[in-house]
Homo-oligomer: A and B are copies of this chain.
Amino acid sequence: MHQHQRRLLTIVTESTIEAHLLRDIQRWGAHGYTITEARGKGARGVREGNWEANRNIRIEVVCDDSSAERIAGGLRAHYYDNYAMILYLSNVDVLRPEKF
């Protein structure tokens, strides 16, 4: 079974900005995304997720290397400073490369 390497970009951030964020990452090259509800703790404190102002979402985007760079760069430029957000990238193998 032939496998193709892609990048998996995972973002954890405030749910308040979901709509804007999704619009932007698609503009920067994401063909799709998967969202799960999350809570957590980081430099900006505990986000318990028990109330609209402190819910997190965890967004995953599978894409090619250059899109991943573009999205990560865009997020760093436009979101990093002002929002609770982490972001990491890893390598994944997919079966249908044309989808991503």
Residues from chain B with a CB closer than 8 A to the CB of A40 are 32-35
Number of copies: 3
Residues from chain B with a CB closer than 8 A to the CB of A36 are 36-38, 58
Nearest opposing residue in chain B for A32, CB measure: B42
For A6-23 the 0/1 string (1 means CB < 8 A from B) is 101010100000000010
Chain A interfacial residues counted at CB < 8 A: 40
Residues from chain B with a CB closer than 8 A to the CB of A37 are 36-37
Nearest opposing residue in chain B for A7, CB measure: B93
Q: How far is the CA of A2 from the CA of B19 in the complex (A)?
A: 28
Which residues of A (43-100) have their CB < 8 Å from a CB of B? 43, 56, 58, 62, 69, 72-73, 76, 80, 86-96, 99
Interface residues, chain A, with chain B CB atoms under 8 Å away? 1, 3, 6, 8, 10, 12, 22, 31-43, 56, 58, 62, 69, 72-73, 76, 80, 86-96, 99
